[in-house]
Structure 1
């Protein structure tokens, strides 16, 4: 496979991941952090870093809007729930296991 084809496939897979996360708003960021050790905010930071590496001016809120499909404040108001005691405990265990 040539590098252009690889880049196209990676970009298509990334777009599908973003679309999937935008459709599944019931999946909270803390759930993603517990299970996969990354969340939508991590993706936004990686996206912003990729832009910076290429000389593209983008701030964190702009990157989050790409990932969330809307301004983060709007997504948070519509879809974010308070973390449960169980989620917080699972996240704490995950962090402890990294140490």
Structure 2
């Protein structure tokens, strides 16, 4: 394995890159096991017409508290939600609903 200076990046840039890789791996693990962490983007998988991406806040029993972009909080059953995937985050909405199927 080459050192950071051998590939033309600083030690600080290397540390930032490594942190991003660790964060991405942690997110993929949470997605795989349906584990939510405060700030995670989530979407409802039960309502066919719900396209908003919510921000996970906390778990309350079998429910979760999520917030929409406008800051309004909602409490729903946790089983209704999953992590938003990368394409949904990029699009800013849940994909595959309504006319998009």
TM-score by length of structure 1 reads 0.34
Q: Which of these two proteins has the greater Rg computed from alpha carbons?
A: 2
By percentage of residues, which structure has more helix? Answer: 1
